[in-house]
């Protein structure tokens, strides 16, 4: 199960409607770190069956390279979920199965009984927020995806640029994911032509600690990739912190000072993580 997530970047996670052949083709050349092939909300009810076939064919053809391939099924409580799993739950082109509207760990049990693939959970219901810890603790879970549209719908909250109404849910899920070592990606930014708004929301998600952002349009990929990668300033600081700490240790001290701030062992762990992430991103391009 570690093979999909272990250290892999998830800066940009692009939804593609499973029914859209042109988009499925286009994604083979996009710089997204991961793709969510969607059979749920992006596919109309009378297209569900055809979308399964189109998607299974596209995944058999392959060509998605390093991009993580995650399929979002319909819920098992819908008329389509069981058929989605039947068609794609064992498909060799599928790396993980994403379950919508997860309320509790038992929702994962139900899917785990029907597929051997690692599981991801859409975190987008009020109950899901309250049960985030038990969901994150599920042994088959690999990652969590914030569903901020559905969450806003359930909460009755208004959209705000600062996402204040989302903060409790985002924070609970982030805590749960980190407590159990799961990948966690932020929700979508609906205004796909508003680059500045997307950039600001990516920055907020990055500051909070998310691994990346879910996206709905190819034009959003580059912005998310930049926002969730270590910046040149972060890399330079990490290198200086490591050098200063090594020098302090060689002088018999446990603490260094860089730019007027203390640097201890724990900061070195973060600095090394920053450098490691940059290396893994560079390896994707190579
Ligand atoms: C939003 C869109 C409907 C816009 O589509 P369109 O008008 O076709 O956009 P463009 O003409 O600008 O497209 C340009 C080219 O890019 C391709 N394209 C478009 N979208 C994608 C995509 N997502 N992945 C790959 N390729 C894409 C077009 O085919 C054009 O290609 P070309 O012909 O070569 O120029 C559309 O972007 C779209 O459908 N997006 C996905 C919507 C979606 O998946 N929604 C569901 C997920 S969001 C969600 O459910 C969140 C969560 O559950 C919650 O609760 O919050
Ligand atoms: Mg949703």
Q: Is 19 in the pocket of ligand 1 (CB under 6 A)?
A: no
- Which residues have CB less than 5 Å away from ligand 2 (the ion)? 124, 147, 150
What would the DSSP string read from start to end of 173-217? HHHHHHHTT-EEEE---S-TT-HHHHHHHHHHHHHHT-SEEEESS
| Cα pseudo-dihedral 72, 89, 110, 144, rounded to 10 | -40
Q: Where are the domains of the chain?
A: 2-228, 232-285
Q: Which ligand is nearest to the CA of 145?
A: 1
| Cα pseudo-dihedral 215, 122, 23, 25, rounded to 10 | 110
Q: What is the pTM of this model?
A: 0.97
Element (H, E) at 57: helix 48-61
- The answer to whether residue 151 scores a pLDDT higher than 90 is yes
Q: Is 57 in the pocket of ligand 1 (CB under 6 A)?
A: no
Residue 2 pLDDT grade (very low, low, confident, very high; cuts 50, 70, 90): very low
Nearest CA owner, ligand 1 atom 34: 26
C-alpha 189/C-alpha 201 separation (Å) is: 8
The conformation of residue 89, written as its DSSP 8-state character, comes to T
| List of residues 6+ apart from 214 with CB closer than 8 A | 13, 14, 15, 36, 145, 146, 185, 186, 187, 188
Tokens of 52: 């399964």
Nearest CA owner, ligand 1 atom 10: 217
Residue 1 pLDDT grade (very low, low, confident, very high; cuts 50, 70, 90): very low
Element (H, E) at 17: strand 12-17
pLDDT of residue 4: 65
For the CA of 17, the nearest atom of ligand 1: 44
Tokens of 283: 């390896």
Q: How far is CA 77 from CA 13, 47, 73, 148, 271, in A?
A: 26, 18, 11, 21, 45
Provide the H-helix boundaries in 123-166. 126-130, 132-136, 148-155
**ipTM of the prediction:** 0.98
Q: Is 147 in the pocket of ligand 1 (CB under 6 A)?
A: yes
Summarize pLDDT for 231-246 with one digit per residue, the tens: 999 999 999 999 999 9
- The answer to whether residue 286 scores a pLDDT higher than 70 is no
The conformation of residue 124, written as its DSSP 8-state character, comes to -
Q: Is 16 in the pocket of ligand 1 (CB under 6 A)?
A: yes
For the CA of 15, the nearest atom of ligand 1: 44
Ligand 2 center–CA 173 separation, angstroms: 15
Q: Is 17 in the pocket of ligand 1 (CB under 6 A)?
A: yes
Contact 214, 190 (CB under 8 A): no
Nearest CA owner, ligand 1 atom 16: 218
Ligand 1 center–CA 42 separation, angstroms: 9
Residue 80 pLDDT grade (very low, low, confident, very high; cuts 50, 70, 90): very high
C-alpha 142/C-alpha 155 separation (Å) is: 26
How many H helices and E strands in the chain?
13, 10
Summarize pLDDT for 14-68 with one digit per residue, the tens: 999 999 999 999 999 999 999 999 999 999 999 999 999 999 999 999 999 999 9
Task: Write down the CATH superfamily of domain 2-228.
Answer: Phosphoenolpyruvate-binding domains (3.20.20.60)
pLDDT of residue 7: 85
């Amino acid at each position: 199960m570690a093979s999909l997530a272990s250290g892999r970047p998830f800066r940009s996670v692009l939804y593609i409607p499973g029914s859209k052949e042109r988009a499925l083709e286009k994604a083979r050349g996009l710089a997204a770190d991961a793709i969510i092939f969607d059979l749920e909300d992006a596919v109309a009810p009378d297209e569900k069956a055809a979308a399964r076939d189109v998607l299974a064919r596209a995944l058999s053809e392959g060509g998605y390279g390093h991009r993580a391939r995650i399929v979002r099924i319909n819920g098992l409580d819908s008329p389509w979920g069981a058929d989605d799993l039947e068609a794609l739950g064992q498909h060799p082109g599928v790396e993980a199965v994403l379950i919508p509207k997860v309320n509790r760990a038992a929702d994962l049990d139900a899917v785990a009984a029907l597929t051997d693939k690692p599981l991801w959970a859409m975190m987008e219901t009020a109950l899901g927020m309250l049960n985030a810890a038990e969901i994150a603790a599920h042994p088959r879970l690999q990652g969590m995806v914030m569903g901020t549209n559905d969450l806003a719908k359930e909460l009755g909250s208004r959209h705000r640029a600062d996402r204040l109404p989302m903060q409790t849910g985002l924070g609970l899920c982030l805590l749960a994911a980190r407590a159990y070592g799961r990948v966690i990606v932020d929700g979508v930014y609906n205004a796909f032509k508003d680059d500045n708004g997307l950039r600001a929301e990516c920055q907020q998600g990055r500051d909070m600690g998310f691994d990346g952002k879910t996206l709905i349009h190819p034009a959003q990929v580059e912005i998310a990739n930049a926002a969730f990668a270590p910046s040149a300033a972060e890399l330079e600081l990490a290198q200086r912190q490591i050098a200063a700490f090594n020098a302090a240790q060689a002088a018999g001290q446990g603490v260094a000072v860089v730019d007027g701030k203390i640097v201890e062992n724990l900061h070195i762990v973060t600095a090394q993580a920053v450098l490691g992430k940059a290396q893994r991103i560079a390896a994707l391009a190579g």
